[in-house]
Amino acid sequence: MVIAMENGDLYGNIELITNALGTQGSMVVKHIYIGMDQPLDAAIIYVNGITNKDIVDRDILNPLMLHTRENLNGKENIGEYLCKRYISMSNTLVESDLNAVVNYLKRGKTAVLINGATEVIIVDTTGGVQRAIMEPMNETAAKGPRDGFVENLEVNLSLIRRKVKDNHLSIEMFNIGSRLQSDVALVYINNIVDKQVLEELKNRIKAIDLDSVLSAGKLEQYIEDYAYTVFPQAYSTERPDRAIGNMLEGRIVVLIEGTPMVLTYPAIFMQFFQAVEDYTERTVISSFVRLLRIFAAVLVITLPSFYLTLIKFNVELIPAKFVTPIVQSRVGIALTPFLEILAMEIIVEFLREGGLRLPTKIAQTLSLVGGIIIGDTAIQSKMVSPTTLLVVGVTVISTFLIPNYDMSLAIRILRFPMLVLTNIMGIFGIAIGWFLILVHLSSLDSLGVPYFEFHKSDLKDTFIRAPLWKMNKRPEGIPNQDSIRQTDSRNKFKKKR
């Protein structure tokens, strides 16, 4: 709704803006005179803390107060005239809608109000102290760019825009949260993204009604379909290169003001096992690492349960040479195998959860007490057998191989139901567990795109990573309009044999 500024009465207008911004806000109003002979009454308004005061002083106040050597009374379109003549800033505009003015003020811009004019000059003076762009803490890459997203939406958008020069790059802004009114930007390549998926995402974002979106993880939960699944429903990253890479595969990047995490939609299961280095390292090496990761994920879910079936139900399966050491190590242990594994797994979870938020100095103590002392004494006090500890230790290390934090949490939690199933039903329980996991995974979808599905042409970039020049098409698993990524340029210089 357009609410016009009051008829040009300066004080009336200032009061309108003050009321709209909230009287408790840290708004700064400065009255000035513009022009010679009969100077015009004017005022500038900005919100303290989010504006760059140097710019306000140098490029607004200085020219307007000291250099306007003419009588501006009765000038037509005074706002535009001032912008063109005196305000030496590139980004200025003239606005007469009160709501728009207030929105600009909230985002660090400065408003210049002139007595007798219904329009307001808006000058881009966005500033204030921000965290500098630095390497993302949670996603480091040996080879690859070092920049990471920060909390400022404009900076984040600039990080993307600087790298993507395609003129089909589209940025759509939304506003979420009745109280925080955070800006949310959808970034996509207009002629790659699938319109149906885009429309669906837009509808969902528009439908969201809550007071605040503080982080990407929160927004994700308002968009997703399946609240009770353990698997992440959107891929979040701190790295611009990842976000752009995903965007070029037909995904939509969602940036949220105030968080360095961006979301990419639609998400598919296998993408969570891919890391940045996969594409910067050599084919054979990254393929090997990928297989390793998937093996690790399988191991995390299966190994403790499999060990449990071996020592509880199917002892005959243990190779003869191992039987003696395993049996000997279990002599005198009071806990049942199930409780033993469960206890160790839970202690590991304690250590992980405890160490997560500790300052680094104390975390060292935790790892010392947790890792060395508990591990050693647990065996000596005959609580667990060394083999159990080995199995649990291998499992824990395997969880660190899963490159995405959300996914590694999901995989980690699956160990527990698996253990329970195995304790009741032996190896049959593991089979049942895996079957349920697979059925569950394949029944998920992300914005209508199947979460867990295999396409023949995508297998080049699923379990292994084929040479980059072989991936001529964009992944089929993500719907897109333009499936061609590249042509066989190598044919031009490859020698014919």
> Where do contacts with other proteins occur on this chain (CB under 8 A)?
196-197, 200, 225-226, 313-314, 316-320, 425-428, 430-432, 434-436, 438-439, 442-443, 445, 447-450, 452-456, 479
Indicate the residue among 350 and 428 with the shorter CB distance to other proteins.
Answer: 428
CB of 278 to other proteins, least distance (A): 22
Count the alpha carbons within 13 Å of 201 in the hemisphere toward its beta carbon: 30
CB of 165 to other proteins, least distance (A): 31
Count the alpha carbons within 13 Å of 58 in the hemisphere toward its beta carbon: 7
Contact indicator for 76, 149 with CB cutoff of 8 Å: no
DSSP-derived 3-state class of residue 211: coil
CB of 249 to other proteins, least distance (A): 17
CB of 310 to other proteins, least distance (A): 10
Indicate the residue among 164 and 425 with the shorter CB distance to other proteins.
Answer: 425
CB of 284 to other proteins, least distance (A): 22
CB of 390 to other proteins, least distance (A): 15
Q: Which of 19, 179, 210, 8 is nearest to 99 (CA)?
A: 19
Structure token digits, residue 312: 């509880």
Contact indicator for 105, 48 with CB cutoff of 8 Å: no
DSSP-derived 3-state class of residue 252: strand
What sign does the dihedral 478-481-483-489 (CA atoms) show?
negative
Query: What element of type H or E holds 85?
Result: helix 78-85
Query: What element of type H or E holds 14?
Result: helix 10-21
Indicate the residue among 209 and 316 with the shorter CB distance to other proteins.
Answer: 316
- Sorted by sequence, the CB contacts under 8 Å of residue 385 that are 6+ apart come out as 326, 329, 330, 333, 340, 379
CB of 222 to other proteins, least distance (A): 15
CB of 416 to other proteins, least distance (A): 18
CB of 386 to other proteins, least distance (A): 19
Indicate the residue among 362 and 438 with the shorter CB distance to other proteins.
Answer: 438
Indicate the residue among 181 and 442 with the shorter CB distance to other proteins.
Answer: 442
User: Helix (H) and strand (E) counts for the chain?
Assistant: 18, 12
Indicate the residue among 319 and 359 with the shorter CB distance to other proteins.
Answer: 319
Indicate the residue among 149 and 338 with the shorter CB distance to other proteins.
Answer: 338
Beta strands in 346-460 (DSSP E): 445-446, 449-450
Distance, CA of 189 to CA of 247 (rounded, Å): 7
Indicate the residue among 6 and 476 with the shorter CB distance to other proteins.
Answer: 476
Contact indicator for 259, 216 with CB cutoff of 8 Å: yes
Q: How many CB atoms lie within 10 A of CB 105?
A: 23
Indicate the residue among 196 and 489 with the shorter CB distance to other proteins.
Answer: 196
Contact indicator for 42, 113 with CB cutoff of 8 Å: yes
Q: Which of 355, 373, 374 is nearest to 364 (CA)?
A: 355
CB of 443 to other proteins, least distance (A): 4
What φ, ψ does residue 395 adopt, rounded to 5°?
A: -60, -45
CB of 97 to other proteins, least distance (A): 35
What residue type is assigned to position 218 of the chain? K
Indicate the residue among 73 and 196 with the shorter CB distance to other proteins.
Answer: 196
Indicate the residue among 136 and 266 with the shorter CB distance to other proteins.
Answer: 266
Distance, CA of 52 to CA of 124 (rounded, Å): 9
Distance, CA of 294 to CA of 401 (rounded, Å): 9
Distance, CA of 128 to CA of 50 (rounded, Å): 4
Chain CA centroid to CA 445, Å: 19
